[in-house]
Amino acid sequence: MNKLFSIGFWGVVARFILRNRTGILIVIALLTVLLAMQWKNMRFTYTEANLLPDDHPVNLEYDVFLKHFGEEGNLIVMGVKDSAIFTPKKFQAWHRLSKDIEKFSEVEFTLSVGNLKQLQKRTDTVGFELVPFIKDSVFTDASLAQYKDDLFNKLPFYDGLIYSPSKKSIRSAIYLKKDIVNTADRKDFVVNDLIPLVKNFENETGVKVHTSGMPYIRTLNSQSIIDEIGLFIGGALLVTSLIFFFFFRSWRATFISMCTVIIGVMWAFGILGLLQYEITVLTALIPPLIIVIGIPNCVFLINKYQQEIKLHGNQAKSLQRVITKVGNATLMTNLTTACGFATFILVKSELLREFGIVASINIVAIFLLSLLIIPIVYSYMAVPKYKHLKHLNKNWISKFSGWIERMVKERQITIYIAAVLVLCASIIGIYNIKISGSIIEDMPKNTDFFSDIRFFEKEYEGIMPLEIMVDTKKKKGVMSLPTLKRIDELQDHIKEIPEFANPISVVELVKYSKQAYYNGNPEYYQLPNNQERTFILSYAKSSNTDTNLLSSYVDTTGQFARITTFMKDTEPDRFKRIEEDLNTKIEKIFPSDRYNVSVTGKALVFQKGTHYLVNNLILSLSLAILLIATFMAWMFRSFKMIIISLIPNLLPLIITAGVMGFVGVPIKPSTILVFSIAFGISVDDTIHFLAKYRQELVANNWKIKKSVFAALRETTVSMFYTSIVLFFGFSVFTISSFGGTVALGALVSITLLFAMLSNLLLLPTLLLSLERSIANKETMRKPAIEILPDAEDEESN
């Protein structure tokens, strides 16, 4: 009954497609136009990826911090390391650059040597006032030399902020308005205004400017993602079309296949716009993925069509058999591939969930497009000539198939030994895998902004913001001297950690107030003692000294204080030790009954996000295995066959993990995707082989050996074709400038290559070795659904 339903269903589908050719093409065209109209809703991400669920404790703490202090990543810095900057012409240009930038509406204020304010004690009344550090309008070499000396030696307040701890470089700080940091206005300012001004300064002075800061990094990183989408699509189309033409030697077949996947890409962009998902470093991979995954569908359909034409020359019969015989098998393989992506939907990370939704929808869509377009287009064309079918008789393919068959027949022990040796080596490699929580590791390393990140890490000891929020549990509690001393003690501890830059908090302003009270003597840049506290703080309270810089380091109630430091790119294990040490110090300095202290910030959120994904890797992969095993159980109704089918697909994953350990590719958000994606795709070969194997079992009266080799001869060519297309298709991602994308492409390609060999060598060997235990009709009961119709059923159609 099930078989009749399957055959009958696909027979109905075939008749429907071939009898409604024009209408179906019109519907596809209309859907394509409608989805193209959704392109305008596509949005490019303006924030860095948050890999944690919204309700994760780390995210909740970060949200509390943002509630009190607003967006943290609004600082852009420009640095120069050139002693000639303190010459009249170049210094004037540097000062003018800062003034020009401050005129833009997106900028809150700028802080540069030319507009620094100096805190000094008022002479006419009690209090402090801010006066310009540089009072001259005309500069000389002598005056600038004096200003340089005063800056480096008399203004410790600006150490690490305006000049580097080594006193060899200076920088300007640009504070963007917080409400535009995560909008398109930020991109417009950086790309259209800031970068041209900096280039003009460099051309005018010959001084190299290093620009960085989270808004700047995020803007150019996002632009790199956008630029690479076209590169990936073009590369995937070029590579797959060349390979396709090499196999089929037919411009017509190649053109039809390319048109099909191009429509699939158009649908992918339309679905992104329809769902209003942001284009991130992950969703940007979906259009080229559709090309790479869609081409094997075309290979199966066109190859079957040409085989049928060669067999009997009847076009109508050939097209019907393409749909009835290949349609169901291709549906099953596409569903298993979609399952590999769909497992990400169950991970609570919004980034991965959106990627899983869009990828799985588009894989089903490209299957439908392939099944509809290819038979319909061929139905309007003339029957292929002999020259279009010559590829079916290639000698080298025959030699490859013969080698596979000989290995399975004569070298079973060799195959097992090789599999065990590779497995043992891979397990050793797995123990060498490291976890990476680096924010910048996957950024394009050949760009100027990446080298600028390294410049600021070296000169200013960090660029990624880490925040500490101190809750004093009472209003105006921050400005009490005991609290200030505790904050200062914690900051001294932070300064001792080599991965952190000098921290900034309200303590710096209080120290600067004491220095100003003692007429600017840098020796008094310290917190006031108990005797000095009353009159120095009264001076500070009587002053109207809105420095802009530190006004956001205490909230409006005076209950919450903020300590900001900047972190170097740090290994996760080292970061974990730093975090533990920091929390231990915080518990010691701040009694829990009087203070609540939390460590947060973008650097911490990203580090925790990476660990969260790693912890969910096993869950995601387990779900993929469970879903695909369920498919196997439903299709073959045999527990033993489920085990046999999983072994040759799990081995390539273990090999890939071992390769990662040996070559030093760490586990990170991009490489985590490899395993679920590769497993979902590689199991397609298993389904094709086992489907044909079971068909041969029925035809050969349950003779295992004869059925295995018959299935092997039938499926080797198509498995080889599709695996090569997938291998080179995913290899396109290695041209990316993003390290994570390169690793993803290379690792998936390697995994699929091993999967092909495993399915062609290990799977049939396992079937032959377990011949007695599976050589009965109970073990291979009638499947719930016929993937491939039996030969006699085909003839009846």
Considering its fold, how many domains does the chain have in total? 2
Would you say the C-alpha torsion 276, 277, 283, 289 has a positive or negative sign?
negative
CB 641 within 8 A of CB 690: yes
Contact 261, 295 (CB under 8 A): yes
How high is the pLDDT of residue 589?
93
What is the C-alpha separation between 105 and 177, in angstroms, rounded?
A: 8
pLDDT exceeds cutoff 60 at 384: yes
Using DSSP's 3-state secondary structure scheme, residue 446 falls into: coil
Please state, in angstroms and rounded to a whole number, the distance separating the CA atoms of residues 174 and 77.
Answer: 6
Residue 97: per-residue pLDDT: 92
Task: Round to whole Å and give the CA distance between 513 and 517.
Answer: 6
Question: What does residue 280 show for φ and ψ, rounded to 5 degrees?
Answer: -110, -175
Structural domain boundaries, residue 511: 74-212+506-549
DSSP for 395-411, written as a single string: HHHHHHHHHHHHHHHH-
For 256, the enclosing helix (H) or strand (E) is helix 251-275
Residue 277 lies in a domain: no
Structure confidence at residue 394 (pLDDT): 62
Residues 670 and 770 in one domain: yes
pLDDT reported for residue 779: 47
For residue 288, give the nearest of 243, 228, 334 by alpha carbon: 228
Band of the pLDDT at 196, cuts 50, 70, 90? very high
pLDDT of residue 78: 92
Does residue 280 form part of some domain?
no
- Which range has highest mean pLDDT (344-353, 668-677, 724-733)? 724-733
- Give the Cα separation of 124 and 127 in Å (integer): 9
* CATH number of residue 722's parent domain: 1.20.1640.10
Reported as a single tens digit per residue, the pLDDT across 545-581 is 554 445 678 888 888 999 988 888 777 778 888 888 9
629-647 pLDDT per residue, tens: 777 677 666 677 778 778 8
Which residues are CB-neighbours of 584 under 8 A, at least 6 positions away? none
Q: Is residue 595 one of the residues assigned to a domain?
A: no
Q: What is the side-by-side strand order in the sheet with 464-471?
A: 560-567, 464-471, 596-600
Say whether both 773 and 643 belong to one domain.
yes
Report the alpha-carbon distance of residue 793 to residue 196 in Å, rounded: 70
Q: Tell me the C-alpha distance between 510 and 487, whole Å.
A: 12
73-82 per-position pLDDT tens digit: 788 889 999 8
Residues 425 and 511 in one domain: no
Helix axes 350-379, 2-19, angle to 10 degrees: 70
Q: Look up residue 549 and give its DSSP letter.
A: S
Quick one: pLDDT at residue 49?
A: 63
CA distances in angstroms from 750 to 244, 385, 431, 540, listed in the order given: 20, 37, 19, 65
Q: Phi, psi at residue 106, to the nearest 5°?
A: -80, -10
The more confidently predicted of residues 276 and 788 is 276
pLDDT in tens, 18-32: 888 889 999 999 999
Does some domain include residue 256? no
Q: Are strands 560-567 and 464-471 parallel, antiparallel or unpaired?
A: antiparallel
| pLDDT for residue 3 | 46
Output the CA angle 441-444-447, nearest 5 degrees.
125
The dihedrals phi and psi of 503, each to the nearest 5 degrees, come to: -75, 160
Q: Which residues pair with 120 in a beta bridge?
A: 129
User: Could you count the other beta carbons within 10 Å of the beta carbon of residue 436?
Assistant: 22
More confidently predicted of 369 and 314: 369
**Has residue 483 been placed in a domain?**
no
Whether 523 maps to a domain, the answer reads: yes
For 404, left (φ over 0), alpha (ψ -120 to 50), or beta? alpha
Tens digits of residue pLDDT in 476-508:
888 888 999 999 999 999 989 888 888 888 888
Question: Any idea which of 217-226, 373-382, 651-660 has the lowest mean pLDDT?
Answer: 217-226
Dmax (CA) of the chain: 109
Write out the E strands in 20-148: 43-44, 75-80, 107-111, 117-121, 128-132
Contact yes or no for 462/570 (Cβ under 8 A): no
Residues 403 and 513 in one domain: no
423, 525: one domain: no
Beta-bridge partner residues of 110? 174
Cβ contacts of residue 14 below 8 Å, gap of 6+?
319, 320, 323, 324, 327, 375
Residues paired with 109 in a beta bridge: 175
- What's the confidence (pLDDT) of residue 428? 92
How does residue 101 score in pLDDT terms, banded at 50, 70 and 90?
A: very high
DSSP secondary structure string for all residues of 363-397: HHHHHHHHHHHHHHHHHTSPPPPHHHHGGGG-HHH
Alpha-carbon distance 297 to 374, whole Å? 10
| CA 256/CA 241 separation, integer angstroms | 10
540 and 682 share a domain? no
Q: What is the pLDDT of residue 404?
A: 84
> pLDDT averaged over the chain?
81
Residue whose C-alpha is closest to residue 226's, from 291, 289, 278: 278
421 and 510 in a common domain: no
Tokens of 610: 């990476």
DSSP-derived 3-state class of residue 240: helix
Report the range of poorest mean pLDDT among 2-16, 125-139, 564-578. Answer: 2-16
Give the confidence band of 791 by pLDDT, cuts at 50, 70, 90.
Answer: very low
Which neighbouring-strand residues pair with 715? none
Q: Which residues contact 656 (CB under 8 A, 6 or more apart)?
A: 674, 675, 678, 747, 750, 751, 754
Confidence of residue 538 (pLDDT cuts 50, 70, 90): low
Helix, strand, or coil (residue 350): helix
Distance CA 624, CA 680 (A): 7
CB 468 within 8 A of CB 595: no
**Can you tell me whether residue 754 is helix, strand or coil?**
helix
pLDDT at 574: 81
Least confident of 180-184, 349-353, 535-539: 535-539
Burial 144-170 (b: 16+ CB within 10 A, else e): beebbeebbebbbbbbbbbbbeeeebb
Look at residue 351 and tell me whether its pLDDT is greater than 80. Answer: no
Q: Rounded to an integer, what distance in angstroms lies between the CA atom of residue 475 and that of residue 554?
A: 11
With a cut of 60, say whether residue 4 has pLDDT above it.
no
Question: Quick check: pTM over 0.85?
Answer: no
- Residue 493 has what pLDDT? 92
- Cβ atoms of residues 493 and 584 within 8 Å: no
Say if residue 96 is in the same domain as residue 194: yes
Among candidates 520, 508, 522, which has minimal Cα distance to 551? Answer: 508
Contact between residue 717 and residue 376 where contact means Cβ atoms under 8 Å apart: no
- Residue 86: DSSP 8-state: G
Residues 51-85, buried b or exposed e (16+ Cβ, 10 A)? bbbeebebbebbebbeebbebbbbbbbbbbbbeeb
- For residue 101, what are the CA distances in angstroms to 104, 210, 218, 731, 743? 6, 16, 19, 43, 39
Region 695-700: what's the mean pLDDT? 75
417 and 513 together in one domain:
no
For helices 481-495 and 506-517, give the axis angle rounded to 10 degrees: 110
497, 514, 549: which is the final residue of a domain? 549
Q: What is the pLDDT of residue 535?
A: 67
Whether residue 497 is contained in a domain is answered as no
Position 527 pLDDT exceeds 80: yes
pLDDT tens digit sequence for 713-769? 877 877 887 888 888 888 888 888 777 778 888 888 888 888 888 888 888 888 888
User: Across the strands, what pairs with 500?
Assistant: 567
| Residue 578 in domain | no
Give me the percent of the chain exceeding a pLDDT of 90. 14
Distance separating alpha carbons of residues 666 and 670, to the nearest angstrom:
10
Contact 761, 407 (CB under 8 A): yes
